[in-house]
Structure 1
Amino acid sequence: MDKTNLKPIIIVIVMGVIVGALILSWDKTVSRDDDAGSVSVDDRNSEEKKGPKGGKLFTTDNFSVEVTIYEKGVPPQFRLYLYENDKPLPPTAAQAAITLSRLGAPAQLVKFKAEGNYLLGDQVVVEPHSFDAAIAVEWMGKTFHWGYSQIEARIEMSDETLESSGVEIETAGPAILRPKLQLPGVVTFNHHNIVRVVPRVPGIVVNVERHLGGQVEKGEVLAVIESQVLAELRSQYLAAQKRLDLARITFEREQQLWKEKITAKQDYLTAQQLSSEAEIALELASAKLRAFGEQPEKLNQVKNLTRFEIRAPISGLVITKEIARGEVLKEDKEIFTLADVSTMYAALTVYPKDLNVIKIGQTAIIKAVASDVKGEGVVSYISAFIDEQTRTAQARITLDNKERQWRAGMFINIALIAEEIEVPVAVSMDALQTLHDWTVVFGRYGEYFEARPLELGRSDGEQVEVLEGLSAGEKYAGGNSFAIKAELGKSGATHDH
C-alpha cells in the first residue's frame, strides 16, 4: 500500500488516542518529542486567541491553525486556515482532522480537503455548537494536536432543582400518532327524540302541572283541560255501552224463546241484529276515545266527563311551553315540546377540503369551548350536499348524555381521529420550546440539559414525530420545560461561533 494513503489512517488513530487524553484532563499540557515528530497542546484554559478570519487561533512554534465555523448562507462547516510565521500557507500544505465529542452522542470525525485558500470540513457541524474538539494537523513531517471546549445552550440542573421546578423527564421513543381533524361545532337536541304535544281535543285550560325546563317522566300529567267535545264523546261511549248491554239481554231472551218454540224466528233474528249494531256502535265510540289517549274501560270511574289530562308521551325535558291557565285551546295547538336528552347531537361544519377525511362511524373527541366538559362520540351523519351560501357541508356526531353534561347551544371543538401512524421516534408537544431560530427539546445528560434542535414530522397535537435531532432512548425535559429555557436565559448562554 502507498505510504501516502496510510497517512490519513494514522492521523485518525493518533487523534482518537489524543481525544481520550484531552477529555480526561482539563489542565494545560505541553509535550514535545522531536524524535517522534509530535507536538500536543491543550488550550482549553488558555486565553482565547483570534485569527485574521475571526476564528480560534492555535499556534505552536512558528506554525498556526485558525479554526472557524462558516454558516453564512450554507450549513455550518469547519474551515481551517494555515499560517507559518503569521503568513498564510496554501491548504495543500497540511492534512487535518477534528474529532467532536458531544453530550449523549458518539464522537464525530471531521476530515478536511483543500478548497480555495482553506481546508473545508466534510461534515455539517450540527447545532448546537456545544462540544469538546480535538484537532490533529500534519505539517512538515510533524503532527500537531490542540484541543478546546465550546459550550452552548447547556445548563446544569440537579435532581433537587428539577423537582422543585416541576420539570418532568420523559424518554423519546416509538409512538402511535393519532392525527386529528379539528372542526368547530355546537350541541343540539337529537331531533329524533323530540315530541311536540298537542291537546287533541279543544277545551279550556284549568291547570298547568309542568313548566319550561322541567324534567318529566312518561305518563306524567302536563296539564288539565275541560272539554265539552270530550264530554260528548264519553257520553256517547257510556250510552253505547248501555245500549249494548240491553241489546245482549234482549238477544239472549229471544234466542231462548226461539229454541223453546215460543217465539218466531224473525224476532230472534231482529234481536241478534240489534245486538250486533249496538256492539259496533260501542267499538266506534271506544275507538274515538282511544284516539285521545283515553282508556274507555276505565271510564266508569270518571266523575267529571269534561276533565281531560294531557300526559307526557315520553320521558324528557320540557323545552317549550305555550299554555296558560284559562286559555281556550284548539285541538292542534302545540302546547309543549319534550326532548329526550339521553343522547344529543354535535352539529359540525365541514369544509370541502375535509370531506375526504370524515367518515360515518369515525370516532371523535368533543370538548366544550367554555368549560372542561369532554366526551367521545361517533359520526352518524354527513350531508350529501354543500350549502350554496356557506359552501360547507353539515355532519352530526351522536353524544351519550346520560350524565346530562351536554346542553343544547354549547359551542364545542371536535377532533376527528383520522388515522393511526406508527413513528420510530416521537416527543411530547409540551416539551417543545423555541430557542434562537430553532425548535428544540432539552436533552438530559447526567446533571446537564442541552438544547437539541429538531426536524419535526407529523403530529397529533399531543406527540410529534422527530425526523432528526434526537434518538430513541434519549431522555428530555417534558412538562414545565419552559423552566429550563428561563434558567438558560439567566445564565447568559449565547449562540456564538
Structure 2
Amino acid sequence: MKTYLIGSLVVTLLLFGAGVFSGGAVGVADSEKHGGHSSAPVETGPHHGRMLRKDDIAVELAIFESGVSPEFRAWVSEKGKPVDPREVLASVTLSRLDGEQEQISFVPKDDYLRGNTEIREPHSFVVSVTIRSRGKMYHWQYDSFEGRTRITRENAEALGIQTAIAGPALLRETTKAYGRLVMNPERKREVRARFDGTVDSVNVALGERVTKGQAVLAINSNENLKTYTISSPINGIVLQRNANPGEQTGGRNLLVIADEHALIAELEVFPSVRPRVHPGNPVSLIVRGMRTPVTGVVKQIDPVLRPNQASIVRVMLDQVSQGLAAGSFLSAAIQIDEYEVPLAVQRSALQSYRDHAVVYAQYGDQYEVRMLKLGRQADEWVEVLDGLKPGTRYVTGNSYIIKADIEKSGAAHDH
C-alpha cells in the first residue's frame, strides 16, 4: 500500500498546532489524509493554524511567513480564554526524514509565542510539542509531511527509478559551435616541375589514390631535352589534375595531392565567446549522419573575422574514424572552463515544485522533496549552494515519477 504524506513536521513546543493554509500563517495538514487512511479532519484556529487540545488547554500552532522568514507562532487558551504568553513555556522538536532533529524554543510576543528558529524547507517532519502552563505539562505529537511519498523497492526498480549520491563534481562549461570537416592543409601538396618543359606523361587520374614515392608525372626538360619523373611526396589522393601530355609546365601546379584521412574541423565562433576559446581547449563534435562523437582540441583561431563577424576555430581530431569525409557538417561543444564544486547534482534529476528547483531525496522506500539554491551549471551538472546535504542519495533517473506520485497524492501545502 502506498502512503502519501503531506507537510511533515515534528515539533516539541509548549502550546501550539499547525495546519495547511494559504494565508500569512501556514499550517500543516494531517499526513494520514493523504496516505489513504481515514482520519478526522484537522481542526484549524482563527490564525489558520492547527489546533491542539488536551483537557482545558488549547494551543493553535501555525507557520507564519507573511513578510518574514517562516517561523512558528502559537496562541494558548484555557477554557476558551487567552493565556498570557509570559505564563507559558513552550518547545518544539521537528524530526525530519533524514534523522535530523531541530529544537525550537519560544519567546512571548504581544498575544502569542514566537519561535526563535527559521523553519527551512521542506516543511516536512514529525512534530513533538511540549508546553508548561500554570504548573501543568502538556504533550502532543503528530505527522506533518509535504512533498513525500513511499514507493517499495520492487516498484521503484520496475519503474526504472535511478539514484546517485550527492557530492563534489567537476563541471566543464562548454559553448556550442557549428562548422564542417575539411582536409588538413598541412597534409596537402602541390606538385610542380623542377625544370620547365613538356609534359611527357601523366600516370595518375583525378581521384586516384597514390603512395609516397610513386611516379606520377614524366617531364621532358627544355634545357637538356631529357625526361625526368616526378614522384608523389605523400600518401593520398589526387584532388586536382591540371596537366595533360604535350602541355608546357609553365611553372604551374600540375597536380594537387592530399591525405584524405587528415581531417580537421573548422568551426565558426562569434565574438561573445571568442575570448574564452583558446588553443588546447577540448572539443566534442557530432558529425551529421554519425552517432558517435568525435573528440579533438583547438589548434588555432583565425585572427581575421569573416563577413558574418565569426572567427574560424580549427580543431585537430584525436582520431579520424571510417566514414568521415571532408565537407561534412557538424556541431561542436567547445570546453571553455573547468572547475570543481563541493556539491552538485545531475541536471536530469531536477524537477519543479512550488516554483522551486528540486530533487527528490531517498531514504529507504521513502522519497521527499529538497528545495535547492542552485549555482553554476555546466554540461550534465548543476552546482548546489543550499538545500541538500552532501552524501544524500537522490533520484537521478525518472524523477518525474516521484513528482507525479506526490502531486497525485496532494502531498503539499500551500505557501
- 8 Å Cα contact 1:205/1:324 also seen in 2: no
Contact 2:166-2:345 at 8 Å conserved across structures: yes
Deviation at 1:209, TM superposition (A): 4.4
Give the match for residue 123 of structure 1: 117
Deviations 1:281-329 (A, max 9, x none): xxxxxxxx55x62xxxxxxxxxxxxxxxxx54322244x4466989967
Q: Do the aligned partners of residues 206 and 492 (structure 1) sit closer, same or farther apart at CA in structure 2, a change above 3 Å counting?
A: farther
**Within-5 A mapping of 1:35-54:** 46-54=40-48
Q: 2:205: which partner in 1?
A: 210
Distance 1:92 1:46 in 2: 32
Aligned positions of 1:58-457 closer than 5 A: 58-175=52-169, 177-186=170-179, 187-197=181-191, 209-212=204-207, 215-220=209-214, 230=220, 236-237=225-226, 289-290=227-228, 293=230, 312-318=232-238, 320-321=239-240, 331=250, 334=253, 336-352=255-271, 354-360=273-279, 362-368=280-286, 370=288, 371-383=290-302, 385=303, 387=305, 390-404=308-322, 406-409=324-327, 410-416=329-335, 418-421=337-340, 423-457=341-375
Instruction: Specify the SS of the correspondent of 1:418.
Output: strand
1:183-230 CA-to-partner distances (Å, cap 9, x unmatched) read 404233222222234578676898784344x544334566x78x7xx2
The alpha-carbon deviation at position 364 of structure 1 amounts to 0.5
TM-superposed deviation, 1:483:
2.8
C-alpha distance in 1, partners of 2:246/2:51?
101
Do the aligned partners of 2:283 and 2:315 also contact (CA within 8 Å) in 1? no
CA contact (8 A) 1:358 1:418 kept: no
Evaluate the alpha carbon distance shift between residue 73 and residue 493 of structure 1 in structure 2; reply closer, same or farther with a 3 A threshold. same
What SS does the aligned partner of 1:490 have? helix
Deviations 1:333-366 (A, max 9, x none): 6565432244433333444554553333x34031
Q: Secondary structure at the match of 1:178?
A: strand
| Distance in 1, Cα, partners of 2:362 & 2:159 | 15
Q: 1:161 to 1:366 in 2, by over 3 A?
A: same
SS where residue 397 of structure 1 aligns?
A: strand
Question: What is the CA–CA distance in structure 2 between the aligned matches of 1:111 and 1:337, rounded to whole Å?
Answer: 86
The DSSP-based 3-state class of the residue aligned with 2:264 is strand
Give the residue type in structure 2 aligned to 1:181. T
Compare the two structures and name the one with the higher helix fraction. Answer: 1
Q: Structure 1 residue 55: deviation in Å?
A: 1.6
Provide, for residues 92-131 of structure 1, a one-character-per-residue CA deviation record: whole Å limited to 9, x for no partner: 3423221111111411112222334432222222222221
Secondary structure of 2:62's counterpart equals strand
In structure 2, runs of 5+ residues without a counterpart are 1-10, 16-30, 33-37
Q: In 1, distance between residues paired with 2:114 and 2:177?
A: 54
63-72 or 388-397: bigger deviation: 388-397
Q: Could you say what secondary structure the match of 1:179 adopts?
A: strand
Task: Name the SS for the 2:156 alignment partner.
Answer: helix
Is contact 1:198–1:331 with CA below 8 Å preserved after alignment?
no
Provide the C-alpha distance between the structure 2 equivalents of 1:431 and 1:182, rounded to a whole number of angstroms. Answer: 22
Higher normalized strand content (fraction of residues): 2
SS of the equivalent of 2:233 reads coil
Distance (whole Å) between structure 1 residues aligned to residue 197 and residue 116 of structure 2: 96
Compared with structure 1, are the counterparts of its residues 368 and 465 closer, same or farther at alpha carbon in structure 2 (3 Å cutoff)? Answer: same
- Provide closer, same or farther for how the CA distance between residues 332 and 419 of structure 1 changes in structure 2, counting only shifts above 3 A: same
Q: How many residues align?
A: 381
**Letter aligned with residue 129 of structure 1:** H
Paired residue for 1:473, among 391, 395, 403? 391
Considering only aligned residues, what root-mean-square deviation do their CA atoms show, in Å?
A: 3.7
Aligned to 1:266: none
Distance 1:331-1:474 versus aligned 2 partners, 3 A rule: same
AA partner of residue 108 (structure 2) = A
State how far apart, in whole Å, the 1-side matches of 2:324 and 2:110 are: 71
Tell me the equivalent position of 1:458.
Answer: 376
Distance 2:68 2:182 in 1: 56
Which whole-Å CA distance do the structure 2 matches of 1:51 and 1:205 have between them?
108
Q: TM-score, normalised by structure 1?
A: 0.66
- Between 1:197-206 and 1:434-443, the stretch displaced more is 197-206
Query: Which of the residues 408, 411, 414 maps onto 1:493?
Result: 411
Q: Answer yes or no: is the 8 Å Cα contact 2:52–2:58 preserved in 1.
A: yes
Q: Which ranges in structure 1 are unaligned for 5 or more consecutive residues?
A: 1-10, 16-25, 28-43, 238-288, 294-310
Q: Distance in 2 between matches of 1:78 and 1:398?
A: 62
Q: CA deviation at 1:435?
A: 2.2
Contact 1:81 1:117 in 2 (8 A): yes
Kindly provide the CA deviation profile for residues 38-74 of structure 1, in whole angstroms up to 9, marking residues without a partner as x: xxxxxx9543101112221112233221121223444
What is the CA–CA distance in structure 1 between the aligned matches of 2:399 and 2:233, rounded to whole Å?
58
Q: 1:401 to 1:62 in 2, by over 3 A?
A: same
Residue 87 of structure 1 and its aligned partner are, at CA, apart by: 4.3
